[in-house]
Amino acid sequence: MATRERTRKARSREQRHDYLLSEAQLEEMYYYMLLARRLSERMLILNRQGRAPFVIAGAGQEAAQVGAAMALERGTDYLAPYYRDLAMNLVFGMTAREAMLNVLGKRDDPNSYGRQMPAHWSSPARRIVTQSSVVATQLVHAVGIALGARLRGEQLVVMACCGEGATSRGDFHEALNFAAIHRLPVIFFVENNGYAISERTEKEMPVPHVADRARAYDMHAAIVDGMDCVAVYQTVKPAVDQARRGGGPWLIEAKCYRLWAHSSEDDDTRYRPRKELEEWAKKDPITVFRERVLADGIFPREDLEEIEAHVEEEVRDAVEWALAQPDPAPEDALTHVYKEY
């Protein structure tokens, strides 16, 4: 893959910044953020064309997602994502083509083979844990995975993600309580985008920060600017390392913003001032990242443009390819209610 080549090239250049990341990693960051965004844009178009009944996306949250996912060890660590986490899944190895199969509900979508709504991720081989639409339930599953690994003696970290709205649910409390009692290696990664559909955080919680909720469990907590991919990585990485060494769970809150409506079904003009949106749009994590690495002289502009061209091509290919893939047959609905043995 072209990215891999660029990665090698980047690695050969001398480090001349304080990002605590190799240039290869920085390229990866840009690549994944951009890929997620471009995929999401195309998904929305497919939705408007009547080809994808439903789209829910993470625009505005890519920096948080990519920064956090890159702090994990792929192949070893588990990811229990939530519906907005396309970018995380890409980092964990999901391909653009697979993402497109997913949004189209295609027969071969590895996430759910057309059985779940789009953006309900799953890939056991990549250690991406299947999740439902019911928010916060996955937090408890993540704790169970960590407990299982502890019992078996495998050293790994589980990252469980959700929005800030989900933290009001009972399952959030029960998950954090258990993880903290047993000091399990779970990173609860909360993408606080300011809204749960139409509800602002003031209606969801009595504290200014989701991270404050960690205090009930004497749990490590951190707040990070979720619009800054590098900062997210720099915050999450040490937490992951510490958890891996047995230091107990973390609650990490990434402050970000939902740049789009809740989903393709939502009309956010009903509840969200345009002015606020415009302010946040200026902080778009992808453009901010681009400008910053250019200003800091990390890459020549051509390198970024190369990535951009590559992403365009990858997305184009994915859409075209996925549209041509078979739909599930009606009676496919009947299989795998139980695991055969």
Partner 1 sequence: MAEVSVLEAVRMALDEAMARDERVFILGEDVEAGGVFRATEGLAAKYPGRVIDTPLAESSIVGIAIGAAHYGMRPIAEIQFADFIHAAFDQLCSEASRWCYRTKGDAWLPLVVRTPWGGGVHGGQHHSQSIEAFYAHMPGLKVVAPSFPADYRSLLLAAVEDPNPVIFLEHKRTYRLIRQELNGAPAETRIGKARVTRRGGDLTLYAYGLMLHECLAAAEELAAEGIECTVVDLLTLRPLDTEAVLEAARATGKVLIVHEDTLTGGFGAEIAALIAEHAFEYLDAPIRRLCGPDIPPIPYHPAMEGFYMPDRRKIAAAARELAAY
Ligand X SMILES: Cc1ncc(C[n+]2csc(CCOP(=O)(O)OP(=O)(O)O)c2C)c(N)n1
Binding positions for partner 1, 67-106, rule CB under 8 A: 78, 105-106
Q: Which does residue 219 touch among ligand X, partner 1, a second copy, none (CB within 5 to 8 A, set by kind)?
A: a second copy
List of residues 6+ apart from 193 with CB closer than 8 A: 60, 61, 84, 163, 164, 256, 257, 258
What's the token pair of residue 334? Answer: 């009947």
Binding positions for a second copy, 192-211, rule CB under 8 A: 202-207
Query: What is the separation of C-alpha 81 from the centre of its chain, rounded to a whole number of angstroms?
Result: 6
Which one of the spans 32-40, 201-209, 231-239, 313-321 is the region binding partner 1 (CB under 8 A)? 201-209
What's the token pair of residue 220? Answer: 């490590």
End-to-end CA distance of the chain: 38
For 59, phi then psi, to 5°, come to -60, 125
- The residue behind tokens 């902080």 is 283
Question: x/- binding map, residues 193-232, to Mg ion, per CB under 5 A?
Answer: x--x------------------------------------
User: Is 262 annotated as catalytic?
Assistant: yes
Kindly report the number of other CB atoms within 10 A of residue 172's CB atom: 23
Task: Given the residues 258, 272, 338, 341, select the one marked as catalytic.
Answer: 258
Nearer to Mg ion among residue 102 and residue 192 (C-beta): 192
Q: Which does residue 193 touch among Mg ion, partner 1, a second copy, none (CB within 5 to 8 A, set by kind)?
A: Mg ion
Question: x/- binding map, residues 128-167, to partner 1, per CB under 8 A?
Answer: -xx-xxxxxx--xxxxxxxxxx-xx------------xx-
Question: CB 70 → ligand X: shortest distance, Å?
Answer: 20
* Contact footprint for ligand X (CB under 6 A): 84, 133-135, 162-166, 193, 195-197, 258, 262
Nearer to a second copy among residue 132 and residue 335 (C-beta): 132
Query: What is the separation of C-alpha 202 from the centre of its chain, rounded to a whole number of angstroms?
Result: 24
List of residues 6+ apart from 234 with CB closer than 8 A: 19, 20, 67
What's the token pair of residue 12? Answer: 């050969």
Query: Do 63 and 33 meet the contact criterion of CB atoms below 8 Å apart?
Result: yes
* Active site (catalytic) residues: 258, 262, 271
Name the residues that contact a second copy, by CB under 8 A: 168-174, 177, 180-181, 202-207, 212-219
Chain positions contacting Mg ion, by CB under 5 A: 163-165, 193, 196
